[in-house]
Structure 1
């Protein structure tokens, strides 16, 4: 499957764009998973294995936080244009809605003085004071603040720690048995991320600094998962909400996500997901993780491209990587177009 995409991924790995990768193609009933390169370079070298556990960073937003919001919506417990403050009274800005947060159109002013010196309680208090700007609802500006605040809202509704909610409502029903938050760093399957300035190599410790501080209360990052579990989540989407014959999300909910949900209707984002177009401009669901991960889902064709790399290990060269990642995606989309137009 997808020989041209396979070739460019191999080239990028050999060029050092990422030390190693586990990636999967799904097309109809066919699946192909490939493992390449090294899981770890420092302080020792280890080969990449198919069951490797990755810190998937912002994929947490769509796998966990967005999924919880969709389930609440199906249960008529929330409305997308409902102000966050109605559900999280501690939040000060009464203008920002759930739609704003999930489509990154809140124009929330995210500067927090001395943020890196705050503990979890102080950081939570600071997020509750943030205000929207003059472009509320009009511009898409990606930010972690939206899912962090939605995480606080979920804790308010459920009166539980966020990671416990995610475990009970998502990971367990979808049988994502390898996935976890705050893992044991000694788990041999965990792929390390960045080498910090003090020489410490993060392994089993959340890469995102905000989620690292918020720990079990973070809705923006912190999920550790592997390809096997990621495919379980993906298949639910590709089956329009069905898992092993049981309805997890309604088919109409998945279909609803395949359209622009920004307030203007022209921002190119759905709820939680980025929208990408295929060669016929049919919408695809896309999301990335800072650590070198992404998901590209096409429910209408029952196809997907899942990518788990350790591109921040041991050093973060973000701008260079983004260009290389987009080249891989372009090759895949061209190859997918040719495949489905046969």
Structure 2
């Protein structure tokens, strides 16, 4: 083949690829089947069913959902098991799940990305530029937005604010929590549990005064995410939840994505999480599992979002399209690329900005050692949640993987979802189905 023909062929391939990608960006998610996108359907269903059956038998979770999008087509969407181990309520495809830390990348993060796109949030400015109390904190005033979002700032990983509202004998302190709403106790944490309005100030004071490590290396911290809803409201002059709905969820037609689902009268069932013997004294259902988010009235940046697998797939597909979904641009492409790339690889920190990323040498690892599946591209990104949730977008392969479960039922000691490596194994199936069919 002549050099001219080679060049022309490469140009044609490139044109076809980018034309296909452009078309995919303008499409909304539709339903298809694995064979339409070059995947082996029999292989997928056989493998996934096997892994899920083992997971349920080994009590990794009582039930779960998996939804996979390839080339903007939902090629796998299946529910397994039951809400609880009594096998009464089967899992349904439109069930709503407590997303736990998946909230971080689907709640505050799209708002922060949009603000960065608009020039209202500089990643390399001190966080104290936007969060004024930190200007007075010697160990925090120079920490940048980038360092904090990449978990590179040395912040405390977590503060258990539940300790502030419980007495030594386990009883609830009435000065912080009442059984009835009033002018000073408006924030509902659970049925019959109303938090003092000013408790949020106590949370922020603790965060502002928390210790910062002198060593700047990767240390996962959720503290700043408790601040983001207020910070976003300050920058936008809009209510945080309304801002998310108006700029993202509403336009994406992700109708179930949001906070405090019990207040919205959905027909969908909300999957329960943990039987809580400490705080809520019963099965946590319809309300956020994470105690810190609960004590903030159910609205937080670290946890608190609920949603269906389909609505999660919409926002993750928007990310996979570098900011576009259904022909509408939500976030600039440069911003999405910046937030989804590894920030500090020289410090063995795999994280993007808010987003989790594959281990740096992931492709060389076995399925037992890898995170997530070894086959995902280095450009891929996502997040997991404590309740047993996991979402991942791979722009290179145009594949979105959604896994929702309530592995914390009946208690958080159920860790077989990790011990059996279930989520990476499931994710791997869909990559192998592509390779095996080529």
Q: TM-score, normalised by structure 2?
A: 0.71
Q: Would you say 1:14 and 2:96 are equivalent positions?
A: no
* C-alpha distance after superposition, 1:108-134 (max 9, x if no partner): 135758653253331122222224211
Q: Would you say 1:329 and 2:424 are equivalent positions?
A: yes
The aligned counterpart of 1:304 is 400
Matched positions, count: 338
Q: CA deviation at 1:34?
A: 0.3
> What is the alpha-carbon distance in structure 1 between the residues aligned to residue 158 and residue 314 of structure 2?
37
> What is the alpha-carbon distance in structure 1 between the residues aligned to residue 432 and residue 308 of structure 2?
28
Q: CA deviation at 1:19?
A: 0.5
The aligned counterpart of 2:221 is 143
The aligned counterpart of 2:113 is 70
The aligned counterpart of 1:295 is 391
The aligned counterpart of 1:133 is 213
The aligned counterpart of 2:79 is 35
Structure 2 counterpart of 1:183, from 256, 261, 265: 261
Q: CA deviation at 1:331?
A: 5.1
Residues 28 and 153 of structure 1: CA distance in aligned 2, closer, same or farther (over 3 Å): same
* C-alpha distance after superposition, 1:233-262 (max 9, x if no partner): 122123222111111122333333442113
> What is the alpha-carbon distance in structure 1 between the residues aligned to residue 259 and residue 77 of structure 2?
24
1:274 is paired with a residue whose SS is coil
Written as runs of structure 1 = structure 2, the 5 A alignment for 1:46-195 is: 46-91=89-134, 92=137, 93-109=140-156, 115-118=162-165, 119-136=199-216, 139-184=217-262, 189-195=269-275
Structure 1 counterpart of 2:381, from 279, 285, 292: 285
Q: 8 Å contact 2:403–2:423 — kept in the other structure?
A: no
Residues 75 and 340 of structure 1: CA distance in aligned 2, closer, same or farther (over 3 Å): farther
> What is the alpha-carbon distance in structure 2 between the residues aligned to residue 318 and residue 251 of structure 1?
40
Q: 8 Å contact 1:96–1:132 — kept in the other structure?
A: no
Q: Structure 1, unaligned stretches of length 5 or more? A: none
Larger radius of gyration: 2
> What is the alpha-carbon distance in structure 2 between the residues aligned to residue 113 and residue 334 of structure 1?
38
Q: CA deviation at 1:321?
A: 2.7
Bigger Cα displacement from structure 2, 188-197 vs 154-163: 154-163
> What is the alpha-carbon distance in structure 1 between the residues aligned to residue 395 and residue 284 of structure 2?
35
Q: 8 Å contact 2:99–2:304 — kept in the other structure?
A: yes
> What is the alpha-carbon distance in structure 2 between the residues aligned to residue 222 and residue 108 of structure 1?
21
Residues 265 and 255 of structure 1: CA distance in aligned 2, closer, same or farther (over 3 Å): farther
> What is the alpha-carbon distance in structure 1 between the residues aligned to residue 158 and residue 120 of structure 2?
31
Q: CA deviation at 1:279?
A: 3.5
Q: CA deviation at 1:327?
A: 4.0
> What is the alpha-carbon distance in structure 2 between the residues aligned to residue 70 and residue 283 of structure 1?
17
Cα RMSD (Å) of the superposition? 2.5
Q: Structure 2, unaligned stretches of length 5 or more? A: 1-40, 166-198, 363-373
> What is the alpha-carbon distance in structure 2 between the residues aligned to residue 165 and residue 329 of structure 1?
34
Q: 8 Å contact 2:52–2:80 — kept in the other structure?
A: no
Q: 8 Å contact 1:162–1:219 — kept in the other structure?
A: no
Bigger Cα displacement from structure 2, 70-79 vs 245-254: 245-254
* C-alpha distance after superposition, 1:298-318 (max 9, x if no partner): 011110211001111222225
> What is the alpha-carbon distance in structure 2 between the residues aligned to residue 250 and residue 145 of structure 1?
27
Residues 130 and 167 of structure 1: CA distance in aligned 2, closer, same or farther (over 3 Å): farther
Residues 160 and 280 of structure 1: CA distance in aligned 2, closer, same or farther (over 3 Å): closer
Residues 219 and 108 of structure 1: CA distance in aligned 2, closer, same or farther (over 3 Å): same
Q: TM-score, normalised by structure 1?
A: 0.89
